[in-house]
């Protein structure tokens, strides 16, 4: 272990203790991460602070502003009351409607963007129904995150499919994933995750919507009917064009959201102060501050050190299910502290090459990394969507971990039992 590896592990340990013990505000702890990475010389200044220029963060700025204007329209009241009336007093029905809607949008765009865009509406739904925001935002973030990556070959998931096949190609293996292989693995697991959160959402009392609906109708409208049509059009057009941009790569999705945010500001639908307040700065600091950890892990040599540990732990494995399970568990644990893309980059080549060298079908073993890295439910640092849910619903770290650890275990166990059956049937 080199000095830089030891230093980075110390930074990770200090960050984790501060997050979990809540010794300091979470945004402050997150901001100290790039400070420490630069001060110790692990990263150059441009690398340490690159998180704030990340395209996900830039996209969020636009989505926050668009959502801030949209939630002030009377159209959101109609959506809220529609959800409440069709819920028929059932928190399970509300949760199901939200999970399906966010999964569909997430598959076509991204989980983080979906949560950022719809969070003002979700908060209003919680306010009107009386549901606990924590018991709606957490399922929404986790289910949307699961659906948005590799569940169907749509949008960015096609790129991930090609990425994983490139790992197989680099090992010299003639085997490749079929276009719907991950769909056969992940869609049934999505159903189980949805069923789990529907079970957990039961028992919440839903308030009578009549009083709220009358009160909303009595409130003076912020915008004229013409202005409302423009804002609602911008909201839905932004979603459509971001989907098109994600699929075609003609233009970056963040340019779409920033353009429409500029239109909202230019037309005066939000004041500068309102636009600034609509941005969840805690979420921005949490994600942007911790993003450079992935770069630091590679630059410092920590990734090679981790590779060595894995290879020492499994020098002569003969059972592909056991090896796939090991990579799924390792990926699931590591992804709680770094992005799934970074986990893929570190462990994907290891899993594929180890499987080939041991004479195994590398597709099952590599799937352990692909699926394990998406089981990012235990901490808000795991992905942008959990980070936003953490801030928007007002979680403490202990509350978030308490709600998130069991779904991680559940989905890992389901993968171990289900994936070998599916891939054995396919191949």
For the segment 54-63, the average pLDDT, to the nearest whole number, is: 81
Residue with tokens 């659906």: 147
| Predicted local distance difference test score (pLDDT) of residue 358 | 76
- Indicate if the pLDDT at residue 297 is higher than 90: no
- Indicate if the pLDDT at residue 36 is higher than 80: yes
| Predicted local distance difference test score (pLDDT) of residue 155 | 60
- Indicate if the pLDDT at residue 327 is higher than 80: yes
- Indicate if the pLDDT at residue 217 is higher than 80: no
- Indicate if the pLDDT at residue 44 is higher than 50: yes
- Indicate if the pLDDT at residue 8 is higher than 50: yes
Task: Say if residues 111 and 59 touch (Cβ distance below 8 Å).
Answer: no
For the segment 199-219, the average pLDDT, to the nearest whole number, is: 64
Q: What is the pLDDT of residues 228-260, one digit of tens each?
A: 889 889 888 887 887 777 667 788 888 988 999
| Predicted local distance difference test score (pLDDT) of residue 192 | 96
Task: Say if residues 331 and 343 touch (Cβ distance below 8 Å).
Answer: yes
| Predicted local distance difference test score (pLDDT) of residue 220 | 67
| Predicted local distance difference test score (pLDDT) of residue 84 | 66
For the segment 92-112, the average pLDDT, to the nearest whole number, is: 83
> Cα torsion at 319, 320, 323, 328 (round to 10°)?
-140
- Indicate if the pLDDT at residue 208 is higher than 70: no
> Which residue has better confidence, 196 or 11?
196
Instruction: Quote the pTM value.
Output: 0.73
Task: Say if residues 188 and 418 touch (Cβ distance below 8 Å).
Answer: yes
Task: Name the band, by pLDDT with cuts 50, 70 and 90, for residue 389.
Answer: confident
- Quote the number of domains for the chain: 1
| Predicted local distance difference test score (pLDDT) of residue 214 | 47
The DSSP H or E segment spanning 137 is: helix 134-148
- Indicate if the pLDDT at residue 139 is higher than 90: yes
For the segment 422-427, the average pLDDT, to the nearest whole number, is: 81
Q: Measured between alpha carbons, how far is 126 from 207 in angstroms, rounded to an integer?
A: 10
| Predicted local distance difference test score (pLDDT) of residue 199 | 93
Task: Find all residues with CB under 8 Å of 126, minimum gap 6, and list them.
Answer: 132, 133, 136
Of 92-101, 162-171, 398-407, the least confident: 162-171
Q: What is the mean pLDDT of the chain?
A: 82
Of 273-287, 302-316, 392-406, the least confident: 302-316
Tokens of 198: 């529907």
Q: Residue 59 in 3-state DSSP?
A: helix
For the segment 252-272, the average pLDDT, to the nearest whole number, is: 89
For the segment 147-154, the average pLDDT, to the nearest whole number, is: 82
Domain membership of residue 416 as a residue range: 5-426
Task: Name the band, by pLDDT with cuts 50, 70 and 90, for residue 195.
Answer: very high
Of 22-31, 164-173, 297-306, 378-387, the least confident: 297-306
> Which residue has better confidence, 360 or 35?
35
For the segment 280-301, the average pLDDT, to the nearest whole number, is: 78
279: left (phi over 0), alpha (psi -120 to 50) or beta: beta
Range among 94-98, 154-158, 411-415 with highest mean pLDDT value:
411-415
Q: Measured between alpha carbons, how far is 376 from 291 in angstroms, rounded to an integer?
A: 15
Using alpha carbons, list the distances in angstroms from residue 27 to 18, 30, 338, 396, 413. 11, 5, 16, 13, 33
């Amino acid at each position: 272990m080199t000095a830089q590896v030891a230093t980075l592990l110390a930074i990770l340990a200090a960050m984790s203790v501060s997050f979990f013990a809540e010794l300091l505000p979470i945004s402050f702890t997150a901001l100290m991460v790039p400070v420490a990475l630069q001060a110790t010389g692990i990263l150059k200044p441009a690398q340490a602070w690159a998180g704030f220029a990340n395209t996900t963060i830039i996209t969020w700025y636009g989505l926050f502003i668009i959502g801030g204007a949209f939630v002030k329209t009377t159209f959101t009241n109609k959506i809220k009351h529609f959800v409440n009336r069709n819920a028929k007093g059932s928190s399970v029905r509300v949760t199901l409607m939200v999970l399906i809607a966010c999964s569909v949008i997430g598959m076509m765009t991204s989980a983080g963007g979906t949560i950022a865009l719809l969070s003002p509406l979700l908060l209003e739904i919680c306010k009107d129904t009386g549901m606990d925001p924590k018991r709606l935002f957490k399922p929404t973030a986790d289910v949307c995150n699961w659906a948005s990556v590799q569940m169907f070959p749509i949008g960015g998931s096609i790129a991930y499919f090609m990425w994983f096949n490139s790992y197989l190609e680099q090992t010299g293996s003639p085997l490749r994933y079929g276009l719907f292989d991950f769909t056969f693995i992940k869609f049934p697991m999505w159903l189980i995750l949805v069923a789990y959160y529907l079970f957990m959402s039961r028992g919440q009392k839903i308030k009578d919507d009549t009083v709220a609906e009358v009160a909303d109708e009595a409130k003076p409208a912020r915008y004229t009917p013409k202005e409302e049509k423009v804002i609602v059009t911008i909201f839905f057009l932004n979603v459509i064009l971001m989907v098109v941009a994600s699929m075609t790569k003609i233009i970056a999705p963040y340019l779409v959201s920033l353009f429409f945010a500029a239109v909202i500001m230019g037309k005066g639908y939000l004041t500068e102060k309102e636009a600034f307040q609509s941005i969840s700065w805690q979420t921005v600091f949490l994600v942007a501050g911790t993003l450079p950890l992935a770069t630091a892990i590679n630059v410092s040599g920590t990734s090679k050190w981790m590779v060595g540990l894995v290879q020492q732990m499994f020098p002569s494995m003969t059972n592909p299910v056991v090896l796939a399970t090991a990579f799924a568990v390792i990926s699931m644990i590591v992804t709680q502290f770094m992005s799934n893309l970074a986990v893929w980059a570190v462990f994907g080549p290891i899993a594929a090459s180890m499987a080939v060298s041991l004479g195994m079908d590398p597709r099952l073993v590599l799937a352990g990394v692909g699926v394990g890295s998406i089981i990012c439910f235990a901490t808000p640092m795991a992905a942008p969507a959990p980070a936003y849910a953490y801030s928007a619903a007002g979680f403490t770290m202990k509350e978030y971990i308490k709600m998130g650890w069991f779904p991680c275990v559940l989905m890992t166990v389901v993968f171990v039992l289900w994936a070998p059956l599916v891939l054995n049937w396919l191949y």
